[in-house]
Chains A and B, each alone.
Chain A
Amino acid sequence: MKTDELIENLSETLSPVPRHAVLLRLAQGVGAGALVSFIVLCAWLGFRPDLSSAVDTSAYWMKFFYTLSLALFAFWATERLARPSSKAGWPLLGLAIVILALTFLSGMQMMHTPPAKRMPMLMGHSARICPWLIVALSAPIFVGTFWSLRTLAPTRTVLAGAVAGFASGALGAWIYAFRCDETSAPFLLVFFTLGMALVGLAGSLIARRVLRW
């Protein structure tokens, strides 16, 4: 094949690219995955029974905004890492600040709790299953996100895979938060973040194989 011919062919069939094409492509995959995940939540786990009264508590909104802000920062970072030569410093810094803020809040809660009650507060009643349910609910989002990423061009493959996985985990955790009735900050910090990190680990492990282009 002659290079001149190739150039001729590529430019002859050129079609315009919409602005924000990367964002649109990610939104397609993530949106479809989140929809499936939400349906799975409704059909399998259901909402927490006390949802209508829980929305009056600060613990509910802490969970809501912790998972949502992590998802937004991580998907923002994914959008950057889906491009050759782009850096994701700012969104990753945002991610770190959110986690640090919850760490601080957890420390405060621990200090204001009598020592004997600290362990029960940390473990709640669902510590054993919480990270795994988050992993399960993240799976459709994970598939959608990687489907999108495969059409993009990450050059730091393993980092992009880890961040995209973590983002899927955070959005899955946000959906799981409609079910989870735990109330303490330390529980949220340890077991929610653990679930997200597991999905991030999965993303980093498959990245080399799946995200090559």
Chain B
Amino acid sequence: MLAAEAELKGLMVAGLAGDKAAYRVLLTALGDVLRRYYSRRVGRDDAEDLVQDALIAIHTRRATYDAQQPFTPWFYAVARYKLLDHLRRKRVRAAVSLDDAGDLFAEDDSEAALARRDLETLLAALPEPTRALIRQVKIEGLTMQEAAAQTGRSEIAVRVGIHRGLKTISDKLRGKDAREDG
């Protein structure tokens, strides 16, 4: 454990300085740790999503790691935060899907139209480039590479853009549910 700490910390510090090779080794190692961590706590399907969520969080928030401090506590705090966030989301989703099921049985075909309208409303809240990306990848079924080629952006920009957009939408949904509950 102590050896792992020294090794991971060294890689992280190198990564913060811009060392891509060290950073790739680090993320791969962390991915394995995260996979074990999450698959013990959530279902197998959710675990891989969470691994990716956590890796993106580690990447986008890497500036918050203080190199004076040990690395492992920082890493586990991020992993744990993402786990709790996921469980909270899941609770909200479970409540929503039960309600929706009741409505579906009551009035069958208008529901699809409503869903489409809701989807458009939610998408409308996003900036145009993000909206287009989500439409292309999540609705029309393009791959990330194809969307990147079409929009002339890098693939990572596409990935991160979609990730952010979906998060904005889910935050919005959560906010709406909370208000309806209250």
Query: Which A residues form the contact surface with B (CB < 8 A)?
Result: 1, 3-4, 6-17, 21-22, 25, 82-86, 152-153, 155, 209, 212-213
| Residues of B with C-beta under 8 A to A7 | 24, 27-28, 31, 55
Tell me the complex Cα distance, A173–B22, Å.
46
Give the chain A neighbours of B51 by CB distance below 8 A: 3
Q: Once the chains bind, are B23 and A11 in contact (CB under 8 Å)? A: yes
Interface centre among A1, A4, A10, A15 (most CB of B within 10 A): A10
Whether A85 and B77, one on each chain, are in contact in the complex, defined by CB atoms closer than 8 angstroms, is yes
- Whether B24 contacts A213 by the Cβ 8 Å rule is no
Asked if B159 and A22 sit within 8 Å, CB to CB, the answer is no
Interface of A is mostly: loop
Q: Are A22 and B27 in contact (CB under 8 A)?
A: no
Select which of B77, B144, B154 is within 8 A of A155 by beta carbon: B77
Q: Is B96 among interface residues, defined by CB-CB distance under 8 A?
A: no
Q: Which stretch in B1-9, B57-65, B102-110, B128-136 binds the other chain?
A: B57-65
Q: Report how many residues on chain B are interfacial, defined by Cβ distance under 8 Å.
A: 41
Cβ-defined partner of B61 (8 Å) among A6, A8, A12, A213: A213
Q: Tell yes or no: B151 within 8 A of A by CB.
A: no
User: Complex Cα distance A21/B62, Å?
Assistant: 10
> Pick the contact of B31 from A3, A85, A209 — CB < 8 Å?
A3
| 10 A-B pairs with C-beta separation under 8 A | A3-B51, A8-B24, A12-B156, A13-B154, A13-B156, A14-B18, A83-B65, A86-B66, A153-B64, A213-B61
Interchain CB contact under 8 A, A153 and B20: no
A8 CA to B59 CA in the complex, in Å? 12
Report the separation of the CA atoms of residues A102 and B76 in the bound assembly, to the nearest whole angstrom. Answer: 40
Nearest Cβ on chain B to A68's Cβ, whole angstroms:
25
Could you say which residues of chain A place their CB within 8 Å of the CB of B77?
Answer: 84-85, 155
On whether the beta carbons of A1 and B52 are closer than 8 Å, the reply is yes
Residues of chain A within 8 A of B146, CB atoms compared = none
Are A9 and B55 in contact, with the CB atoms below 8 A?
A: no
A8–B57 CA distance with the chains assembled, in angstroms? 15
Known: A1-B159, A6-B55, A86-B69. A12 touches B27 (CB 8 A): no
Tell me the complex Cα distance, A66–B60, Å.
Answer: 37
Contact B24 A83 (CB under 8 A): no
Residues of B within 8 A of A12 (CB): 20, 156
Flag if B156 contacts A10 (CB, 8 Å): yes
Q: Are B48 and A3 in contact (CB under 8 A)?
A: yes
Given A10-B55, A10-B56, does the pair A83, B74 have CB atoms closer than 8 Å? yes
The 7 closest A-B pairs by CB, nearest first: A84-B77, A16-B18, A85-B77, A21-B63, A11-B24, A153-B61, A9-B156
Q: Is B173 an interface residue (CB 8 A)?
A: no
Q: Is the beta-carbon distance between B63 and A25 smaller than 8 angstroms?
A: yes
Residues of chain B within 8 A of A25, CB atoms compared = 63
Bound together, the chains give a CA A83 to CA B66 distance in angstroms of 8
Which residues in window 132-156 of B have CB below 8 A to A? 144, 154-156
Binary interface profile of B, 43-83, with partner A (CB < 8 Å = 1, else 0)? 00000100110011101011111100100011011101100
Contacts A1-B144, A6-B56; is A82 near B64 (CB within 8 Å)? yes
- Chain A residues within 8 Å of B18, by CB: 14-16
